[in-house]
Amino acid sequence: MKIGIPRALQYFFYEDLWLNFFKNIGIETIVSPTTNKEIVKKGVANSIDEACFSSKIFIGHVEYLLDKCDMIFVPRIENSAVREEYCTRIFGLYDLVRNTFPDAKILNAEVNYLYRKRESNAFVKIGEALGKTKEESLEAYQNASSTAESIKAAKILKQEELLKGDGIKILIFSHAYNTYDACIGKEITDYFNKNDIKIAYADLVDEKEAQALTKEAYGKRVYWKVSAQLIGGIEKYRDSVDGIVLISTFPCGPDSIFNELLIRMIKDKPILSLVIDELDASAGIQTRLESFTDIIMARRLSQRTPSKHVRNRR
C-alpha cells in the first residue's frame, strides 16, 4: 500500500503532520515532486480556465500521482475550528478531484468543526481505511501533531531572531502553497536570497495571536483562516521589516480583498504586489523585484543620513 500526496495547496499547511502520521502508522507515501513545467501543463489542461493557478497546479500533481500509488490523499478540510475556514477552492478540492478524475482512488476523511468532525477523528478514519486500530491511529496522530507544532514553533522563534538582527528585511504575505511552490514563490525568494535580503514570512506566527491581531486591525473576525493568520503576521512583523511583498496567484478570492486592504491601509512601508499565473512572464517579475529592491535600499540610506529638511521639521 502506497499513498500519494500531491505537493500542492493543503500539503503546505500540513506537511509535517501528514508525513509524520503516515510514518508513525508505517504506511509508505510518495509525495509528488516540486512543481515543474510538465505538472503545470497537466494541471492547466485538466482545469476550468478561470480557476486559480494554485488549484490548477494541484490538479497537475494529482495527475502526476495517478499511476504511481494505490490511493491519493485528498482529505476534505473545510475548517480547522469554527470561524476558521479555508477558501472554497480548498474545501471543494475533494469533489473537484473526484469529478476531474472519476477513476482515481482517493483516500479521504472530512474535517469540519461545524459538524464536530475533528482532525483527530479524521485521522482515526484514515487509519481505519488502512487497517489500523483506533488507538494506533490516535497515538500516531498525537505524536505527529506535536512534532508538527514544535517544528513550527522553532521556525517562528528563528524568524523572530532574524528580525531582531541587522540587514535589509522583507516580509512575504502569501499563502504557504504559493510561497514555497517551485513555480510560484521560489523565483521570488531566490531573488531576495541572492541579493542578501532577509526574508520573513507572515504565516510564521502563532495562530491564536494572529487571530487576535487581525480582529483588532479590522474590527471583525476574519473567517478565512489563512488570510486571518497572514494579516496577523503582517500586524506583528511589519514594524521590523523594510518592505512587504504580496504574492498571489490569479485569480485568488481571499487575496483580492485583503491585498487591496493592505495596500490601502499600510502607508509607511513599500509594498510590492506580484500576481502569478500560468503565463510564465518572468521578465516582468524580475524587473519589479529589482525596482522594489532599489526602493527599499534607497529608503534605508535616507533613514541612516536623515536630510536637514527632515531634521528641521522635527
Partner 1 sequence: MKKAYLGIDIGSISTKGIVIDENNNTLADSYLWTLGNPIQAVKNVLNEIAGKMDGSYTVVNIGTTGSARKLIGTVLGAQVVKNEITAHAVGTLSVVPDVKTILEIGGQDSKIILINQGVVMDYAMNTLCAAGTGSFLTSQAKRLDLDLDDFASLALTSENPAKIAARCTVFAESDLVHKAQIGHSKADIVAGLCRAIVMNYLNNVGKGKQIKSPVVFQGGVSKNSAVVKEFEKELQMPVHVDPNGHLMGALGVAVLCKASKEETSFDFSITDIDFVTKGIECTHCPNNCEIICVYKNGTLLDAWGNRCEQGAQK
Partner 2 sequence: MSVTGKLACAPQIGDYHIIADMLIERCLNYKTMRCPPMTKRTLEIGARHSPDMICTPFKTTLGNFIEAAEQGANVFIMPGVGCRLGFYDILQKQILDDLGYECEMIALFEYIPTVKRLYTSLSAINPDLTKEDFDTVFATIARITLDMDKLADFIRRNRAFEINKGEYEKYYRAYLDEVTSAENAAAAESIGAAYKEKIESVAINKPNNPIRIGMIGEIAAVVEPFMNCYMEKWLSNHGVEIIRVGDLSTMAVAIFTVDEQVKNSGGYVDYNIGSTANDAIANAYKMAQSGIDGIIHIKPSSCSPEITAMSILQNISRDHDVPFMYMTYDTETSEAGVHTRLEAFIDMITMKRGLQI
Residues in contact with partner 2 by the rule CB under 8 A: 47-48, 50-52, 76, 78, 83, 87-89, 91-92, 94-96, 98-100, 102, 110, 218-223, 248, 250-261, 264-265, 275
The interface mask with partner 1, positions 230-269, x = CB under 8 A, is ----------------------------------------
Name which of 70 and 290 has its Cβ closer to partner 1: 290
DSSP 153-196: HHHHHHHHHHHHSSS-EEEEES-HHHHT-TTTTHHHHHHHHHTT
Residue 147 three-state SS? helix
Measured from the CB of residue 252, what is the shortest distance to partner 2 in angstroms?
A: 6
Judged by CB under 8 A, which of 26, 253, 284, 306 binds partner 1?
Answer: 284
Is residue 279 near partner 1 by the rule CB under 8 A? yes
Helical packing angle, 119-129 and 134-164, nearest 10°: 130
Residue 96 three-state SS? helix
Residue whose grid cell is 473537484 = 96
Question: Residue 99 binds which entry of partner 2, partner 1, none, with Cβ cut-offs from 5 to 8 Å by kind?
Answer: partner 2
Region binding partner 1 by CB under 8 A among candidate stretches 44-52, 124-132, 155-163, 202-210: 44-52
248 to 42, 80, 135, 217, 233: CA distances (angstroms): 21, 22, 41, 21, 16
Nearest to 224 by CA among 175, 166, 178: 175
Contact in structure between 201 and 230 (CB atoms under 8 Å): no
Is residue 306 near partner 1 by the rule CB under 8 A? no
Region binding partner 1 by CB under 8 A among candidate stretches 87-95, 177-185, 251-259, 272-280: 272-280
Rule CB under 8 A: which residues touch partner 1? 44-45, 48-50, 277-281, 283-284
